[in-house]
Amino acid sequence: MRLHAENLSGERGGSAVFSGVGFSLGAGDALLVTGPNGAGKSTLLRVVAGLLPAAEGRVGLEGEDPETWPSVGAACHYLGHLNALQPALGLAENLLFWQRFLGASLLEVDAALAAVGLAGLGHLPCGALSTGQRRRAAIARLLVSRRPIWLLDEPTAGLDRAAETRFDAILARHRDDGGIVLAATHAPLGLAGAVELALPGAG
Amino acid sequence: MSQTSASTHSLSDLANPTRFLAVADRLVPWLAGAAAVLLAAGLLLAFRAPADYQQGITVRIMYIHVPFAWLAMLCYTLMAVAAVGTLVWRHPLADVALKTAAPVGAVFTALALVTGSIWGKPMWGTWWVWDARLTSVFILFIMYLGIVALTRALEDPGRAARAAAVMTLVGFVNIPIIKFSVDWWNTLHQPASVFRLGGPTIHPSLLWPLGVMALGFTVLFLTLHLMAMRNEIWRRRVAAMQRIEARRAERPEAVVP
Amino acid sequence: MGALFRRDLVLGLRAGGGALTGLLFFLAVIATIPFGVGPDLGLLARIGPAILWIGALLAGLLGLDRLFQADRDDGSLDLLILAEARHLLPLTVFVKCLAHWTASVLPLVIASPLLGLFMNMSPPSIVATALTLLVGTPAIAFIGAAGAAVAVALPRGGVLVSVLVLPLAIPVLIFGVSASYAATADPDPFLPPFLILAALTLFLGVVGPVAAALALRFAAD
């Protein structure tokens, strides 16, 4: 499968934040979106996901049966700034909900929690977890359902060194399985052979 | 000076939840037993007592209705004391007492309302009238539920406790005002007949079983309240242990050299 | 979809959810009415069904602003919209409405016969009012979802939701109350207004979620 973007431009509050962005990613590829604050990194990810309309250009999938992934958004995992975890529910309850709701189960909840180093904490309410643990729980959500394209917005915010290393391994495994990664970040991610897309920012 | 430090020491001793749990564990079976005996005796006496020549058998509901109504008010008074304890002395058990008394008080108030309307149906011909006494108890019931909702609405027990304490005290100073204004508004309920100047107007043959029942229900209330406080302390410990467990889960990686 | 229903239900009922608050508000509204109009039992019995309906309407609107706000606050809303290919967005909204109704409005319907006693209503009148509430209140949740979706992007949308939704809910109120009265007033038939009420619920059950889904898609930013 290939993810294509041509001549994309996005706007925020009526003014364009980036324009003329294009890329083409195949299985196992990664795109690292960098740029100063306000350059439109988050906006680009949301446009790709289809959460925001593109001001110009288009995003599309190629070489894939439209039955399996009818739209780009359907093929995406989106990890935004917020973790999409309800603090009143237990960790495993939250993940189990997302697995049931998103479908296409991949890993069991316990296995996904173990992969991010939260093994045995599934019974805790999310409110009891630290910021980094919540971020890791949100990463575990990427593992409970299968989606070929991962859109990651500052995925390592709040993670410590050990968790970052583990996250790099998770990304590498996803790419080995033919997945595509788009990450917007300031921090260096361990994405070997990633294409870098530098958004120029205002000016 | 030494007096003060000694008194704070004994106060903090009492405040210690672990000691409280130990005392509660020992007290609860005795209190429960006493409540059972008193209530059994009270019921026996109540059914031996002569029936009212006007009201017939229905008067016997008084033996549970009146204690429920007393306890509804006693419980609110207890909560007001606990609220002062929370706000002024910041006693850690006071907010537990306040939080756990509210649902128990709400249940007793609801029982007072229900038994009252079962009594009222044959006497007044209707389940409910907007009479002064009934209305003020109904408002008390809503106030209980409001405090229950408030203690449940906030995650952090400390903040929830202070908010509930303020509301309880505002309610407590408001109760006399509500009572008087409602009295002016409309009345049908019989006037107080037990505690009043010049001695009770109620016949001693009815007063004895009523007294035993009231005592029995009060002991029952204390038992329930102690058990609820014990549960709440345990619940908070579970929450604290969950946070500790979440923190401890990070440690092994850090310890490995 | 079953998972979404269960999650929203659990969130509504668990500590901090709005289920108890709505019930309490209903109780408080009903309790204050006699102070306003006086304790005349005949009068209370006459206006009882209308008061119960207005109380339920206001209490039903109370928690509506949280319908999507909680999901927006933690980022879940984006994921619900993204999963559109698998779960049609209007259907997602419909399920959320149902869960909201079950957690916060159904208790009101169950409590309404008791409050009918407080209003000195006759048993047939109480049964009729509870029945109309059971059939009519989902319509308020459905039409409210549209208001909640429009207001989700606004920082202080809470009151605005009520202002937006209240006029739209008036037909539901009209037919609900007239069906309740028709049950006791002899010449008026009960069935026609009751069936219109049911039809309104079914109609709004389609229109509300579709409009809400549209608004949510525009509100995403």
Cβ-based contacts of A133 with chain B (< 8 Å): 246, 249-250
Does residue A18 contact residue A10 with C-beta atoms inside 8 Å? yes
Q: Is C10 on the interface with A (CB under 8 A)?
A: yes
Residue A124 to residue B246, Cβ atoms within 8 A: yes
Query: Which of C143, C147, C138, C174 has the alpha carbon at shortest distance from C68?
Result: C147
Q: Is B148 on the interface with C (CB under 8 A)?
A: yes
Mean pLDDT score, B3-12: 45
pLDDT digits (tens, 9 = 90+) for C78-106: 888 888 878 888 999 999 999 999 988 99
Cβ-based contacts of B138 with chain C (< 8 Å): 31, 118
pLDDT at B1: 37
Residue C118 to residue B128, Cβ atoms within 8 A: yes
Q: Is B139 on the interface with C (CB under 8 A)?
A: yes
Neighbours of B119 (CB within 10 A): 18
Which among A87, A130, A162 has the least Cβ separation from residue B246?
Answer: A130
Chain C residue with minimum CA distance to B154: C16
For chain B, what is the mean pLDDT? 78
Residue B247 to residue A130, Cβ atoms within 8 A: yes
pLDDT band at C141 (very low <50, low <70, confident <90, very high): very high
Which among C15, C21, C39 has the least Cβ separation from residue B186?
Answer: C39
CA C120/CA A90 separation, integer angstroms: 45
CA C3/CA C96 separation, integer angstroms: 11
Does residue B68 contact residue B108 with C-beta atoms inside 8 Å? yes
Residues 6+ apart with CB under 8 A from A174: A142, A150, A181
Which among A117, A133, A162 has the least Cβ separation from residue B246?
Answer: A133
Classified as helix, coil or strand, A57 is strand
Q: Which residues of chain A are under the pLDDT cut of 70? A: 64, 201-203
CA A163/CA A115 separation, integer angstroms: 10
Q: What are phi and psi of C174, to 5 degrees?
A: -60, -50
DSSP-assigned letter for residue A23: E
CA triple B33-B36-B40, angle to 5 deg: 145
- In this prediction, what percent of chain B has a pLDDT beyond 90? 10
pLDDT at A203: 46
pLDDT at B256: 39
- Selected residue of C1, C79, C80, C88 to mutate for chain A interface (largest A Cβ count, 10 A): C79
Beta bridge partners of A3: A25, A61
Cβ-based contacts of B139 with chain C (< 8 Å): 31
- In this prediction, what percent of chain C has a pLDDT beyond 70? 96
CA C192/CA C203 separation, integer angstroms: 16
pTM of structure: 0.83
pLDDT digits (tens, 9 = 90+) for C60-85: 888 888 888 888 888 888 888 888 87
Residue B249 to residue A118, Cβ atoms within 8 A: yes
